[in-house]
Amino acid sequence: MKSFFDKLTGTSNIEDETEDFTNISINDENQQSEDPSAWTESEGELSVDVYDDKDKIIVKTMVAGVRPEDLDISITRDMVTIKGIRLEEQAITKDNYYHQELYWGSFSRTIMLPAEIDIEESSATEKYGLLILTLPKIDKERRTQLRVKN
């Protein structure tokens, strides 16, 4: 299976060129549940930068050519999943290409976070194809005094 980087750069190994039939699922009647001609390429994997900025975690990734409505970002206190699809605007047949390196299709990436985050205060921005997730960390050392009401 080609990695997202391999799809981006157009590189391939001889192992990538061979078919992998190990993921064929078998139903109860010992019949193949999928027609091999209907198989599609697997999702591309996004490249990401994840770093600590004192009280928040920052995740950056390139999503150039992806419309905001084609992105799905879900977060929990310890994990971020980014899914999307980059659609080709013109229908060009494979025979018309001299060279093709750009990746078109669906992609996803799940990142386990090094600290718990405040999902309510998290934000996502996109500028010039760069998606930036700002994920404020939960301050486990923060304390407050509660007053008892009568």
| Residue-by-residue DSSP string for 58-104 | EEEEE-TT--GGGEEEEE-SSEEEEEEEE--SS---GGG-S---S--
To the nearest whole percent, how much of the chain has pLDDT over 90? 40
Q: What is the pLDDT of residues 24-65, one digit of tens each?
A: 344 444 443 344 334 345 778 889 999 999 899 999 999 988
Is domain 41-136 given the CATH code 2.60.40.790 in the classification? Answer: yes
